Amino acid sequence: MIDLYTVPLGATARDFFAAEAEKNYSYDEALLVLPSRLLVNHARRSGRAQTVNFEYLPNRIVALNRQLLDLPPEVKLEMISRRTQELLVGDLLHQLAKLQGLDYFSKLADKEGFVKAVTGLLGQLSRSGSTQEEITTALLEWEQRNPAYVMKDREVAALYNLYRNKLKQKNWYDVEGLYRLAIAVLERPQAKLPWQQLYFSEFYHFDALQRLLIKSLSRHCRISIGLMYEPKRPEIFAAVERSFGYLSGFAQLHDLQLEDSARKPDLQHLTAKLGAGSCQTMAAADSINFIEAGDSEGELRAVLRSIKARLQHGAAYNDFLVAVRDFNTYSGIRAVCDEYGLPVTLPQTASLSAQPVCEFLRLLLNVAAGGSEAIAAYWRLLKCGVVKLVYSFDGERLNRLKQEYLYNDLRQLRKAVRDKADTNENKQWSTDLSELELLLDKVQRRDTAAAYGETFKTILEALALPVKAGENYKNGRADLLEVKNIVETVRQLAEVLDTLSEDYQNGGLESVPLKAEEYSQLLLSACAERQIVLTAADSEGILFGEAANLQGLLFKHVYIMGLREGEFPRSKNENWIYNDRERAELSGVGVELDNTACAYAEDKFFFAAVAAMATETLTLSWYRDDTAGASAYIEDVERLYAAGCITKSRAGRTGWQEALSEQELLLGITQTDTCHNWLLERLGVDWTLRSSIERIREQGDSVYKGVFEDVQLQRAVNEAVGGFFSASHLETYAQCPYRFLLSYVWKQQQYEELTETVEPAVEGSLLHDVLARFMAEHLHEKLTKYPPTELISQLDDIMTSVCDEYITGKKIAVTDFWPSQRRKLNLLLRRWLQRELVYQKEWEPFVPVKIEWDFGRNGSAPLALEVNGGKIYLNGRIDRIDSDGNGIFVTDYKRSQIPSGSELTAGLDLQMPVYLLALAALETQNKVLGGGYYSLKEAKRKGGFAMQTLGKTPFTTNNKPFSDAEDQWLAFADFCRTTVRGYINTLQQGNFPPAPRKNCPEYCPGKDICRAYGELAAEGGEDNV
């Protein structure tokens, strides 16, 4: 029998259930089931009823009734981890590819992200409540299915069946399988349960498997469910609707009447009317406060200041709740709370993957892997934290060897380092380096997961890191926190190594050898899932929690942080394997899958439930910047009250008199008295600025945002820049003004070590020189007039000559890698020649007429452009010009990537526009027909800009921009001049913000100091050839 109790927003059936359990049952006869660890711990402190989470139930049911599963006694059921699932899915994908091919997913099968996504989908299908046969039928007999996706459905169905059958064959089960086992047990009348009554409270949603389990449990004991639900407020309770609809079909319904909580009137109004549609506004909202900040740290500090002020006026720690949607949005919460002296329920943690010991093990693996990366890993190994702790030699000094000689062989490098250590006056260097070399030799290039695990446990034991850390503590070279960190790291790493071995064994892959680099990535992934607790949480402190885990509690003072667009509610992208429309269709035939609408409904419920927990004050906060502002939930709250009655404050700087932390006090004092101040003498005269730089940036354009407002500074910058600009200069500014400042004003160059491979820029220059010399011998004629073998021979000879020059000039180092790279470049040039012959044959009557055409260089005239009453001059070199006798077409060689068509109209591709403008102005006897790029890597022409009058070409041209203008060329030229003038104008006004519009290149000189560099993927920049 099931009783379903509904309670209004802000209420809970939990206390009602606990009182009933205490009155009617012994402690072991009733269970209170709650959805989160936080709520379970909260209920256990009262001691009124035995309390567990939902996952306890299937585990306990299966354990008590194993004999009902009809399994032989010797068969052992194995619960597999998520990683084992992923390993198994990856293996099955390869099997499926061999058996029948993967036509739809063939290009994704080897991608780690794909395996994770597919594993997640298989879990969702298993939790949909449908059987394996029903899921297979739904996928294979999808009515009115788009034929383009039928292959996808077949492959998903095949993989799902392989996966489920494999688990059955091996007597393994995942989380979903555990629920199925428990449900199967409960179908038996003789199933034994120790409980007479189960209470479920604070759940807003039960998935299909949980609902089936509850229904099966009801055949053996009484079930009472408390659900926060109001049918007249669908906007708030959309996330609850599905579970309520299912349960109400067979449960006895009760409207639980509870005493009203002692909320302030304006908070009671919010609890009763939020999401109720049109309602009368309330004239006062004295208990509700809004805080807006300029950044996440400013928001956190404003909230903590408010809490501390209330504590100073008599509030207790347990009066407060601080809720966020996701802790991952905020970093360093515990550290800032410690600064304000506030005890909180959050521990201070650090990621295991970021610990030096983990880095040390991965460096050993990367050295063992061999290849070009092994040498770089060896250099880092010599100076890593663990080596510094354990060994006496100076890894930094040994690293200086790489500036003296280019080492392209690991054995040669290790011998050089050994010789250097042997000749050092400190003989312990040689001994210690020998010990490190022995550890390196233990790590194999290929080994099983279990073997790698045993090797690293042996290495960790030999290093005795906890003992070394303890010795450092005794000698005053380390504090207790550092010792604790190392001890806990070693302990957890041992667990991780064992777990990885078990995962491969459970997946039936224990004999599969792994490459060292594969195990290195596996180790990193496993360690990233673990946290080291540096300082324990204070269970009596202020409660910090995620909104999803907090239903059914009451606090005098509630703070909800992060109410910002895209954060709460969170932005949710559609699943890329099955999108929302497809998921809706599958749900319609019984395969229940959540979609983005479900996620938004959940967030709406979470916000309302947490807001309703406040009895005396409710503070809602967010930070606003250029990318996002306040959440829509703020407007939802504002609509309930008269305009202007909610107190709104802007987080800002405080004076030293109002300081509530040491940091604030120091900042306030140094701002008050900057003359002969003893604090400034100890902290540095720029300490005030350093402490508040982020806030200064948020206040508007300034030198700290890369905007030079000082006129003299602007003049000095303009003098340094000068009046001559190349297209690459302008493109650099367009893509990132700050990179332009570093490269062409400060003239910074990134430090480069000698490398054993040819850098892309050198490759590009080499290819450019080869093609220039080759085409110089074939101007005003077609290559097709010569036999291909003769052309190949000529091209190879020029390539040999140019390579010899580069080697003599030390632009290329002859290493073990050079012959392979030389062959690759030769092949690339031959592919170009093959494609060029096709182009020249089909592109009549165009022939190459000029190469390396300069403007503004080597005495040639530049392109002049008027800007702000003065003139600037553009220069450059055009790789190649083709002509049909009347018009001309520009070609610019690119080693690999070329600008997309959209980059031209976005003002990011300036090379082709500048070249075409220069030709039109300086070669007036010819009509400019357009220009394009030639990707040597693809041996293909594409991109750029072409006039409609160019006519048919054997390659794709970009002739759409400005094609609807009365005069396409005039419209294009006007756009290009306006774009260039706009960049020059902002440049001359001193605007150099770190605001990249394309992926930051690896070679950017500001990569180590730019705050924006890490925000964009470093994909590498385009190179001129």
- Encode pLDDT of 126-168 as tens digits: 888 888 999 999 999 888 888 888 888 999 999 999 999 988 8
Structure tokens at 5: 């109790």
d(CA 882, CA 941): 13
Average pLDDT for residues 89-112, to the nearest whole number? 80
What's the pLDDT score for residue 701? 66
What is the pLDDT at residue 1025?
A: 41
Residue 676 clears pLDDT 90, i.e. is over it: no
Residue 79 · residue 178 · CB < 8 Å: yes
Which has more confidence, 73 or 623? 623
Assess whether pLDDT exceeds 70 at residue 91: yes
pLDDT value for 1020: 36
- 230 band by pLDDT with thresholds 50, 70 and 90: very high
Residue 521 has pLDDT above 60, yes or no: yes
Mean local confidence (pLDDT), 447-476: 92
Asked whether the predicted pLDDT for residue 397 surpasses 60, the reply is yes
Torsion of CA 292, 295, 297, 302, to 10 degrees: -20
pLDDT exceeds cutoff 90 at 651: no
Chain centroid to CA 196: how far? Answer: 48
What is the average per-residue pLDDT within 916-945? 92
The bridge status of strand 863-867 relative to strand 78-79 is unpaired
pLDDT at residue number 696: 62
* pLDDT reported for residue 757: 54
Length in residues, the chain: 1025
Band of residue 751 on the pLDDT scale cut at 50, 70, 90: very low
Q: Using CA atoms, how far apart are residues 205 and 246, in angstroms rounded to an integer?
A: 11
Position with higher pLDDT, 768 vs 896: 768
pLDDT in tens, 781-791: 999 999 999 99
pLDDT of 241 = 94
Mean pLDDT of 493-520: 91
Q: Which residues contact 626 (CB under 8 A, 6 or more apart)?
A: none
Mean pLDDT for 636-654 is 90
When pLDDT is averaged across residues 300-322 and rounded to a whole number, the result is 95
Q: What is the pLDDT of residue 407?
A: 74
Predicted confidence band at 896 (pLDDT cuts at 50, 70, 90)? confident
Count Cβ atoms below 10 Å from residue 240 Cβ, excluding itself. Answer: 23
Closest among 362, 408, 648 to 525, alpha carbons compared: 362
The CA distance from 1013 to 735, in Å, is 13
Quote the pLDDT of residue 759.
Answer: 72
Mean pLDDT of 583-601: 88
> What pLDDT is attached to residue 685?
63
Mean pLDDT of the 603-616 span: 96
* Residue 301, pLDDT score: 92
pTM comes to: 0.69
Cα separation, 846 vs 862, whole angstroms:
26
Percent of the chain past pLDDT 90, that is, above it, reads: 53
Name which of 174-178, 343-347, 974-978, 1013-1017 the model is least confident about. Answer: 1013-1017
> What is residue 733's three-state secondary structure?
helix
**Could you read off the pLDDT of 798-824 as tens digits, one per residue?**
999 999 999 888 888 887 778 888 999
The pLDDT of residue 109 is 75
Average pLDDT value for residue range 654-683: 68
331-340, 589-598, 634-643, 1015-1024, range with the lowest pLDDT: 1015-1024
Task: List Cβ neighbours of 638 (8 Å cut-off, separation of 6 or more).
Answer: 646
DSSP state letter for 40: H
* Of the listed ranges 260-264, 444-448, 521-525, 838-842, the one predicted with least confidence: 260-264
Closest CA to 647 of 292, 271, 275: 292
CA 961 – CA 964 distance, rounded (Å): 8
Task: Give the residues across from 172 on adjacent strands.
Answer: 78
Q: Which residues contact residue 167 at a Cβ distance below 8 angstroms, ignoring those fewer than 6 apart?
A: 80, 173, 174, 177
Mean pLDDT, the chain, rounded, equals 88
pLDDT for the residue 978: 93
